[in-house]
Amino acid sequence: MFLAASSFEPYNQGQLAVTLTLFIGILSIVILTGISGQISLGQSALMAVGGYSTALMIINLSMSLWIAIPLSIISGGVAGLLLGTVAARLSGPYLAGTTLVVALAIPSIATRFDSIFKGDEVLEVDVGYPPAWFVRAFGDPTYEMWQFYVALPFALLALFFASNLLLSRSGRVWRSIRDHEIASALAGVKVSRQKVFVFTISASFAGLAGALYGLRGSVGPSTYPTSLSLLLLTGAILGGIRSIAGAFIGSVLVVFLPDWIDLAVHSFELSEQVSNYLPALVGGILLILTVVLNPAGVAGGSHLHKHK
């Protein structure tokens, strides 16, 4: 696969890194919404926390990115803990609306306190260059492929932890909260505490995704817009919100679908106006169709997972 990838153009190679990054982000939604039933539109805010903390540590503290990126797991987790204490008492539309406001409010902190966060003058970070031993072993990759190689270990880490979580006792507890909160409470589950816990864990995934997302080049208030939350949610629903395979399918869809649509309509001579917005239109329609016709998504429909 690596050989094939190195024959891609740099643009597509860059997309591979984004796919892995969004995979981690969509995993956060699988854990939070698919397994535990808490709907959150605020994952972009948590990504922003991870991205900003990593960028600030790299720039201000001259940390290596291999230390700064894992620390984003912690910073994301802390933010998730704070969010969880409020969110645990909410459900349904209240939870959705509140997390949406959070998604809008958190990035505005960057402009509000621009002495620390630099506001619109974005923080510039990138993944640097591969170390010498890597070049000796694998040859000199392009910058975009190096982005992919940086993201890969973290994606595998996320995959490992997510699959363990889903199969663990916590995963079962979260599923019980999702399916029947009252019965779960009667069975002795401390529901509020578990909700805070799942928000924290989910946010640590989101923080990691945010750090990798920011390392594409710059971290600024517009790097983590609310539409990013919606993008993750769309990917989760389309791919299958209850499984890891679904998260991966979702991330591939979200990253590559616009290009596939462009390819498909290439032969029709559409005006620029239409072709610019066609991917967004198709994405929205697919989301509605999926939710109405097959809410379990691609992975759900084809039973690509053991536990749901």
CB of 175 to other proteins, least distance (A): 9
CB of 255 to other proteins, least distance (A): 17
CB of 33 to other proteins, least distance (A): 7
- The residue among 67 and 291 lying less far from other proteins, judged by its C-beta, is 291
Q: Please give the structure tokens belonging to residue 63.
A: 């940390």
- The residue among 127 and 296 lying less far from other proteins, judged by its C-beta, is 296
CB of 49 to other proteins, least distance (A): 15
CB of 2 to other proteins, least distance (A): 35
CB of 296 to other proteins, least distance (A): 5
Q: Please give the structure tokens belonging to residue 119.
A: 């506001």
Q: Please give the structure tokens belonging to residue 241.
A: 């919100």
Exposure letters 192-219 (e unless 16+ CB within 10 A, then b): eebbbbbbbbbbbbbbbbbbbbbbbebb
- The residue among 108 and 302 lying less far from other proteins, judged by its C-beta, is 108
- The residue among 78 and 100 lying less far from other proteins, judged by its C-beta, is 100
Phi, psi of 119, rounded to the nearest 5 degrees: 50, -125
Q: Please give the structure tokens belonging to residue 66.
A: 């291999």
Instruction: Name the residues that contact other proteins, by CB under 8 A.
Output: 33, 37-39, 41, 86, 89-94, 96-98, 100-102, 104-105, 108-109, 111-112, 177-182, 226, 230, 233-234, 237, 241-242, 273-274, 276-278, 280-281, 283-285, 287-288, 291-292, 295-296, 300, 308
Element (H, E) at 218: strand 218-219
DSSP one-letter code for 34? I
Exposure letters 21-35 (e unless 16+ CB within 10 A, then b): bbbbbbbbbbbbbbb
Residue 64 zone, left/alpha/beta (φ > 0; ψ -120 to 50; rest): beta
- Go through the chain and tell me how many residues it has: 308
User: CB neighbours of 135 closer than 8 A, spacing ≥ 6?
Assistant: none
- The residue among 136 and 303 lying less far from other proteins, judged by its C-beta, is 303
- The residue among 12 and 111 lying less far from other proteins, judged by its C-beta, is 111
